[in-house]
Amino acid sequence: MCGIAGYWGADLPRMEGTELLQRMCDAISHRGPDGEGFHIGTGAGLGHRMLSVMDLSLNAAQPMGNVNGTVWVACNGEIFNYIELRGMLRERGHRFRTESDTEVLIHLYEEFGEDFLNHLNGDFSFAIWDERRQRMLLARDRMGVRPLFYTWHRGVLYFASEAKALLRVPGITAAPDPIAIDQIFTLWAPIAPRTAFKGIFELPPGEVMLIENGQASSRPYWSLTFPDMGEEDSREEDEIAWELRALLEDATRIRLRAAVEVGALLSGGLDSSIVSALAARIVPGSLRTFAITFEDAAFDESAYQQMMVQTLGTRHSAVCCRAGDIAGAFPAVVRHMERPVLRTGPAPLYLLSRHVREEGLKVVLSGEGADEIFAGYDLFKEAAIGRFCARQPNSKFRRHLFRKIYPYLATLQKQPPEYLAAFFGAQAKAPGDPLLSHRPRLRATTGTRLFFSGEFHEMLAGYDAAEELAASLPEAFDRWHPLHQAQYIETRFLLPGYILSSQGDRMNMAHGVETRFPFLDHRLVEFAARLPPRLKMRGLREKRILRRAVADLLPPAIVERKKQPYRAPESAGFSGPAAAYIAQILSAGSIAQAGLFNERAVAKLLDKHRRGAISGFRDNAAFVRIASAQLWSDTFVSAP
């Protein structure tokens, strides 16, 4: 895991090119605190910040070139199947100088050209510069675990692992993209390739960009897809459970490959417990596990964490998120995310990542991704109940089922069944609406648009983020089961756009910690996509086949535990001395300077916050989004 930067289209002298790359890499030094390197070619340059976790020798330094210096690579991430690939390449006559997984990329490219991407199992973004062909190749992993940003300026392409590196290029400045900001406030994340910055783009997951002969083109080399409804995997459940277990074990095994110790994040939920249990069986000695706990019992899962620690015998370490910690970490969270954020959840994970690094580890496993590929989120249950109610619209009993999804939300429990049915869309079904499963979430998030300034509303000019999302769905989407449609939207957009950014790469790499995700092994993702919906969710019971496949690994209380989403205090987390900056960033002067929000509307919200009167999802979400947007503007747009 590292950070990369580079350019194409400028034939700079070595000193000038190195100075440019140095500035860019300095901006992302947190991603690679173990070293740096640069390569200046004819018309292109590559920079690299190193986090040494695979091959610790100096021979593995990047950018790395082939024997004759005609092909160079700078990689951010890991190729987990590099040992198998190296064996295959040696049989074809290739010779290796290092034990690094990065060297495999060079030989694969030489052997297969741009089609070499199909051979990779990993989390990566990288750049390959082919001096002979004058070709630059940029690629990002299938699931979007690792980021890659780029921009064009005066005919030159600049790229980097984080947008802040691009802002170090002379002449490139930060400005908000109104469409992307609206997408964030509606969909939780921009629709790639858009970013919050006007003119700065993100390479979408599973895509490759080629710049050759003065032309740039992008194409997907992998796409998430599902079988047509009724054509899912029809094998016996026992056989499917056995294969699932084997895939999970292998996905975990290859993600434990490292020259440094690998730990695991342990939330106490099903997914992280599975990954920790599998890892504990593979690693020699006692696995180290790490967790976040909360001072507020409403968010704390430490009892389940301790249950797994005692079961597995791990060496466990936890950091407690106390009052004021979220407010204290939030400015750094926004700086590393490089965009406004809807929830405070990333802040405790930022603290956890710092704790992991202070404990001496650089690599941890995570259970992230299981909810998307095995239908674990409450959103999938909402949609199922909505379809259930639509079959008998006059049934009063069925409406009460919405309460069962959210036992931890007191305000929702008090709502009458008529309100619940209306909010979750159980009465007004719209046949053919591709976003039907996500409409309740969209209704809950779009309320923040009411805080936009008049000028910002004019910039949007009737733009509808949901319509753009719907228009981007694949042609085969209508032929999929409704559950698979919902899974596609969640996995293709929210997972890389929000979850893997806010709860994966950006918070962990802020402290030079690499996170690996066994559930996002593309073999497992493709396997899960083929499964019939009944094996993922039956009734309101999520992850049916996953629970069956791992039942012998975990205590029954963990296997049978109901889904509890990861949450953190929202507006309540911004109190006390650590939140003193809130008054400044939400002041009338700051709001007017940023130009994003209506001063009076924000003043009323700030007054509610001061009185402790903010309650419910909409006000809490609006407060966090507006505060984060103001911090983002102060950090990047208004910065000198």
pLDDT digits (tens, 9 = 90+) for 173-203: 999 999 999 999 999 999 999 999 999 999 9
Q: Give the per-residue pLDDT at 410.
A: 62
Q: What's the predicted TM-score (pTM) here? A: 0.94
Can you say whether the dihedral through the CA atoms of 309, 310, 312, 313 is positive or negative?
positive
Note whether 293 and 345 are same-domain residues.
yes
Would you put residue 508 in left (φ > 0), alpha (ψ -120 to 50) or beta? alpha
Of 330, 199, 347, 338, nearest to 635 by C-alpha is: 338
The reply to whether 481 falls in a domain is no
Same domain, 167 and 68: yes
**Residue 300 maps to a domain:** yes
Are 519 and 359 in contact, with CB atoms under 8 Å apart?
A: no
Residue ending a domain, choose from 186, 220, 254: 220
Say if CB 100 and CB 62 are below 8 A apart: no
Same-domain pairing of 58 and 148 = yes
Question: How many domains does the structure of the chain reveal?
Answer: 4
How far apart, in whole angstroms, are the C-alpha atoms of residue 188 and residue 7?
A: 30
Which tens digits make up the pLDDT trace of 543-577? 999 999 999 999 999 999 887 888 899 999 998 99
- What is the residue type of 617? F
DSSP per position, 271-327: HHHHHHHHHHHHSSSPPEEEEEEESSTTT--HHHHHHHHHHHT-EEEEEEE-TTHHH
If asked whether residues 212 and 244 sit together in one domain, one would say: no
Q: Which two tokens stand for residue 322?
A: 């106390």
Q: Which of 559, 585, 606 is the last residue of a domain?
A: 559
Q: Residue 315's domain is classified under what CATH number? A: 3.40.50.620
Beta-bridge partners for 48: 4, 37
| pLDDT (0 to 100) of residue 417 | 62
Task: Please report whether residue 469 resides in a domain.
Answer: no
CA 55 to CA 99: how far, in whole Å? 6
CA gyration radius, the chain = 24
Asked if the structure places residue 244 within a domain, the reply is: yes
Q: Are residues 291 and 363 in the same domain?
A: yes
> Does one domain contain both 330 and 343?
yes
Rounded Cα gap, residues 465 and 621, in angstroms:
18
Distance of alpha carbon 616 from alpha carbon 22, whole angstroms: 47
DSSP labels for 497-511?
Answer: IIIHIIIIIHHHHTT
58 plus 123 within the same structural domain = yes
For residue 424, what are its two tokens?
Answer: 């979750």
Residue 393, C-beta contacts closer than 8 angstroms, at least 6 positions apart: 426, 427
145, 251: one domain:
no
| Domain-located, residue 623 | yes
Q: Hey, how many other C-beta atoms are within 10 angstroms of the C-beta on 357?
A: 17
Residue 321's nearest CA partner among 346, 292, 297 is: 292
Residues paired with 633 in a beta bridge: none
Residue 229 domain-assigned (yes or no): no
Below-50 pLDDT ranges, the chain: none
CATH of the domain at 61: 3.60.20.10
- 368 and 291 part of one domain: yes
Q: What is the dihedral of CA 180, 182, 188, 191, to 10 degrees?
A: -40
Say yes or no: 361 and 402 in one domain: no
Residue 76 lies in a domain: yes
Given 446, 462, 478, which residue is the final one in a domain?
A: 462
Same domain assignment for residues 21 and 155: yes
Residue 471 lies in a domain: no
Written as six digits, the tokens of 294 are 């909360």
Instruction: Please give the residue range of the domain that contains residue 596.
Output: 571-637
Q: Which residues contact 614 (CB under 8 A, 6 or more apart)?
A: 571, 572, 605, 608, 620, 623
CB atoms under 10 Å from CB of 286, counted, come to 12
What number of helices (H) and strands (E) belong to the chain? 29, 19
Q: In what order do the strands lie in the sheet with 135-140?
A: 64-65, 71-79, 122-130, 135-140, 207-212, 215-220
- 369 and 392 housed in the same domain: no
